[in-house]
Chain A
Amino acid sequence: MNTATLEPAAHLGHRSRPFAWVQQSLTLAWRNIVRIRQNPEALADVTFQPIIFLALFLFVFGGAIAGGGGWRGYLPQLLPGLLVQTVVFATMGTGVGLNDDFAKGVFDRFRSLPIARVSPLIGAVLGDAVRYSLSIVILMTSGFVLGFRFDNGVGNGLLGMLIVLLFALSMCWIWVWLGLVMKTAQGVQGIAFLVMFPLTFGSNIFVPTSTLPGFLQAFTKVSPITYLVDTERALMGGGALQKPLLITLAWMVGLVAVFAPLAIRAYRRRT
């Protein structure tokens, strides 16, 4: 026994609790939720923005895009698409938030504590799952108020909401990674918009892909957004499900397989 070795304070049960990291991650997820509550304006991107987008596309462009059907005919097409766009945009907030935490030194505090190294990362992602869920619920509620219905059954509709949430949790690893390797939060945001706008507007979210020029059609054929939107439309309204669902699931696995390790490596390097 080395007498110079100091014993950790008695209350620190982390050595005897094998699942301490779970509780630590949950505590840090709680932190992210508390932050949302105390800082509601930071929630604008998942609350007002989707509602404004819904109103804008439905009432301003809806008539032109949907032709004879008017906005009521456009809603069943638009809402599943907007759901995808909203959630995909919300994922980038995860990277921006992480970058901010590092810049403000909050992670220095976490790292000087005897907690599992990955807890802050898992906590950030879990906390944001709540944010994503909130945006899904808000958008769907707005849709229901305007007359949207799960025409393919409530079970399938709810499954659609779950899949879009899981997709967001897969995709957020891109932004977690970028948030960790980039110097500033503005930089992350810049890249995010550069990627997000072509990805979501160059897709079948707002218009049928057959109306797009050839090069864009080629792009939509590989873009995961297209298949996720098709999956959502099939689950919420009916239509061919198998192919888009399988491709979407494959993309989800691929995104996690590539970007989660990159993010974790970047995280380990920074901590």
Chain B
Amino acid sequence: MTTTNQVAIEAVGLVKKYGSTTALAGVDLSVPTGTVLGVLGPNGAGKTTAVRILGTLLRPDSGQATVGGYDVVREAGKVRSIIGLTGQYASVDEDMSGRRNLIMIGRLLGYSRPQARAKADELLERFELVDAGDRTAKTYSGGMRRRLDLASSLVGNPSILYLDEPTTGLDPHARNGVWETVRNLVLDGTTVLLTTQYLEEADALADSIVVFDKGSVVANGRPAELKAQAGKQSLDVRPAEPAHLERVAAIVAESTGSRPNVDVVNTLVSVPVSDGSSMPVVVRRLDEAGIAVTELSLRLPSLDEVFLALTGHTAEEKQPDAVLEGASR
């Protein structure tokens, strides 16, 4: 039997309650092998809870999940042998050096001493921790700890990797490094599930995104779909001459394929767009028409705006069709 689109992670109806708090209220997920799923959601949405269940650290109250074909409850040991997990809070051993942390994990995984050392060296190199490798992790900065934690989860060459907010608290350079690492892992065939608060991050890395809110999946789709349907990104053009408003509106309409809003009072033409690809076209056309503009901008939606749009709290008036397919389960 061959399936062309193998599923690495499959969850159906996951429920987890803490007392009266419902952390997960029936979550379904499906991640094809070799792809990246971004789990986006505000604080308390249930992202960490989902990761911990899929990482065998927590049992769901109901529902079930398979990872690499193994049940996360009944075959937890097998699941553990194919996953790597970097939790939201670094789980490094503070009283040991970074190198020893990695060697210990290698040894636990059955590497010989030299193998474990070689693997530790390789990972310290990859995460730019060589200089700090022999210091106790207690002396590491927050970002260094996160990198060590990430390195720890890669010792076993996992084929499925969970990253719970991997770049929170990292500086831009370190964040780019993590993104690079994720991309390389995916090139090697690793399946990645990452949670994030940053739409930008999900957009940069994920093949598909699910949005959690209050323990439920409120939206899912490819990044572009979500952003388009969030309907909050807009291309704004302000002509220098109010008389040019109509011509600008026509140019924008032609270039983007959508009908723009024309705000006569503020002399502003704005149109919802999914990305900035139409921007150069607009600029060229305006230039050809000899129209001067005082403002030309692409407003990115903030995560707040996206959440609000996707959870349908404020988007109704503007975009009644913003509710996504497969949403509100």
- Which residues of A are interface residues toward B (Cβ below 8 A)? 1-9, 11-15, 17, 20, 23-24, 27-28, 30-31, 34-35, 38-39, 42, 104-115, 119
Contacts and interface: CB of A to CB of B under 8 A. Distances in A.
Interface string B184-228: 000000000000000000000000000000000000000000000
B30 to A, nearest CB: 12
Given A8-B82, A108-B87, A114-B81, A31 B104 contact: yes
Interface string B124-168: 000000000000100000000000000011001111100000000
B22 to A, nearest CB: 22
Contacts, number: 120
A3 B8 CA distance: 11
Contacts of A112: 55-57, 80, 83-85, 153
A21 B115 CA distance: 19
A3, A6, A13, A104: which has the most chain B beta carbons within 10 Å? A6
B10 to A, nearest CB: 9
Contacts of A15: 81
A20 B107 CA distance: 10
A31 B156 contact: no
Contacts of A114: 77-78, 80-81, 109, 156
Interface of B: 1-3, 6-8, 33, 55-57, 68-70, 77-78, 80-85, 87, 89-97, 100, 104-105, 107-111, 115, 136, 152-153, 156-160
Nearest to B107: A27
Contact of A104 (B57, B94, B100): B94
Nearest to A25: B108
Contacts of A110: 108
A62 B90 CA distance: 50
Contacts of A42: 95
Contacts of B153: 112
Contacts of A12: 81, 109-110, 156
A108 B57 contact: yes
A4, A38, A109, A119: which has the most chain B beta carbons within 10 Å? A109
Top 7 nearest A-B pairs (CB, nearest first) are A5-B69, A6-B68, A105-B91, A8-B81, A114-B81, A35-B95, A114-B80
Nearest to B110: A13
Contact of A113 (B8, B70, B156, B157): B156
16 contacts: A3-B2, A6-B68, A6-B69, A8-B82, A11-B111, A14-B81, A23-B107, A23-B110, A34-B100, A105-B89, A105-B90, A105-B91, A112-B85, A113-B80, A113-B156, A114-B109
B93 A106 contact: yes
A109 B109 CA distance: 12
Contact of A9 (B100, B104, B157): B157
Contacts of B55: 112
B91 A106 contact: yes
Contact of B158 (A3, A9, A11, A17): A9
Contacts of B91: 104-109
Contact of B57 (A2, A8, A39, A111): A111
B70 A11 contact: no
Nearest to B80: A114
B95 A9 contact: no
B96 A34 contact: yes
A4 B68 contact: yes
A8, A11, A28: which has the most chain B beta carbons within 10 Å? A8
